[in-house]
């Protein structure tokens, strides 16, 4: 799978936490989105009516079997907030050997991705239309994901809205707990203050390890979107952050020598 190369040495020196759902008290509650009605095009409406039953998975608030969902045991990449699905389609098309689970709350976006799935004849994409925080907490098993992508999450520019940003300590810990050891968390943003917050939060997460010194070069699997190309023309820079989940520590010498 062409996720970025993983660091050869990422042991934390301490064992990973025990498996088990994130305790409810630690689960972050983040109002990271506004319910947008937006205009739903005729094509999106048709896709929602005719295609949703094939690719949209209902959120039931209980653990989901990814192998049953995709009918295979290939690596699974979870994408949070896929918007209109432009990037999801490009990545899923170029990497048919991977499964992609996209989470988005925006109905027009779900309709758009359904259209893309049909047009590109994709079979490796599934969609959940629900709050990603609840989905990850309640439906995704511990250590089950090969990668999580969060591209251009809402930056919530105003200071009083910063608490609505997705990338904060509790959420980073939640996402990291769902990655397999060595699995990748890849975030991208064009809002410099948010990039700095992401770097601080992810660097402080005990389960994660930066694959670069600071920001990463854009991995080749992440295509440039129209939105991003326009931003780059206007002189906005984009930061990619690629972290991996730490590998479990090897058994300590004391434990083995005392046998």
Ligand X SMILES: C[S@@+](CC[C@H](N)C(=O)[O-])C[C@H]1O[C@@H](n2cnc3c(N)ncnc32)[C@H](O)[C@@H]1O
The piece of 15-23, 63-71, 76-84, 208-216 that touches ligand X (CB under 6 A) is 76-84
Q: Which is nearer to ligand X, 16 or 32 (CB)?
A: 32
Of 103, 176, 207, 241, which lies in the binding site for ligand X, with binding defined by CB under 6 A?
A: 103
Instruction: Give CA separation, 178 vs 51, 98, 143, 208, in Å.
Output: 29, 17, 4, 12
The piece of 3-11, 89-97, 100-108, 207-215 that touches ligand X (CB under 6 A) is 100-108
Judged by CB under 6 A, does residue 111 bind ligand X?
Answer: no
The phi and psi torsions of 51 (rounded to 5 degrees) equal: -110, -20
Residue with nearest beta carbon to ligand X:
81
For helices 192-204 and 169-178, the axis angle rounded to 10 degrees is 60
The piece of 49-57, 65-73, 74-82, 94-102 that touches ligand X (CB under 6 A) is 74-82
Q: How far is the CB of 181 from ligand X (least distance, A)?
A: 25
- CA 231/CA 211 separation, integer angstroms: 26
Q: How far is the CB of 153 from ligand X (least distance, A)?
A: 6
Q: Which is nearer to ligand X, 209 or 216 (CB)?
A: 216
Q: How far is the CB of 102 from ligand X (least distance, A)?
A: 9
- CA 94/CA 158 separation, integer angstroms: 37
Q: How far is the CB of 35 from ligand X (least distance, A)?
A: 9
Instruction: Give CA separation, 232 vs 22, 228, 236, in Å.
Output: 39, 6, 5
Site for ligand X in 120-179 (CB under 6 A): 131-133, 151-154
In which element (H, E) is residue 20 found?
A: none
Alpha-carbon Rg for the chain in angstroms: 19
- In this structure, the chain runs to a length of 259
Judged by CB under 6 A, does residue 81 bind ligand X?
Answer: yes
Q: Which of 205, 194, 150, 146 lies closest to 172 in space, CA to CA?
A: 205
Tokens of 1: 């799978």
Q: Which of 243, 71, 67 lies closest to 148 in space, CA to CA?
A: 243
Catalytic residues: 154
Judged by CB under 6 A, does residue 4 bind ligand X?
Answer: no
Q: How far is the CB of 32 from ligand X (least distance, A)?
A: 4
In which element (H, E) is residue 42 found?
A: helix 42-50
Site string for ligand X, 200-239 (x = CB under 6 A): -------------------------x-x------------
Q: Using CB under 6 A, list all residues that contact ligand X.
A: 32-33, 80-83, 87, 103-106, 109, 131-133, 151-154, 225, 227
């Amino acid at each position: 799978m062409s996720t970025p190369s993983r660091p050869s040495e990422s042991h934390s020196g301490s064992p990973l936490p025990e498996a088990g759902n994130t305790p409810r008290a630690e689960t972050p509650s983040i109002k990271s989105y506004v319910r947008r009605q937006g205009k739903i095009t005729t094509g999106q409406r048709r896709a929602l009516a005719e295609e949703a039953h094939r690719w949209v998975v209902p959120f039931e608030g209980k653990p989901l079997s990814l192998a049953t969902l995709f009918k295979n045991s290939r690596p699974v990449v979870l994408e949070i907030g896929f918007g209109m699905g432009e990037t999801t389609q490009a990545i899923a098309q170029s990497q048919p050997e991977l499964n992609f689970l996209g989470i988005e709350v925006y109905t027009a976006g779900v309709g758009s991705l359904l259209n893309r799935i049909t047009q590109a004849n994709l079979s490796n994409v599934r969609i959940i239309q629900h709050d990603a925080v609840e989905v990850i907490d309640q439906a995704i098993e511990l250590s089950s994901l090969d990668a999580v992508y969060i591209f251009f999450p809402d930056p919530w520019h105003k200071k009083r809205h910063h608490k609505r940003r997705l990338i904060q300590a509790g959420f980073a810990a939640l996402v990291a707990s769902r990655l397999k050891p060595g699995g990748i968390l890849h975030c991208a943003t064009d809002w410099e203050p948010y990039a700095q917050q992401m770097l601080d939060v992810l660097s402080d997460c005990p389960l994660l390890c930066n694959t670069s010194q600071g920001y990463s070069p854009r991995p080749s699997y992440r295509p440039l979107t129209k939105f991003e190309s326009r931003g780059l023309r206007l002189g906005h820079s984009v930061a990619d952050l690629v972290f991996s989940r730490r590998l479990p520590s090897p058994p300590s010498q004391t434990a083995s020598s005392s046998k």
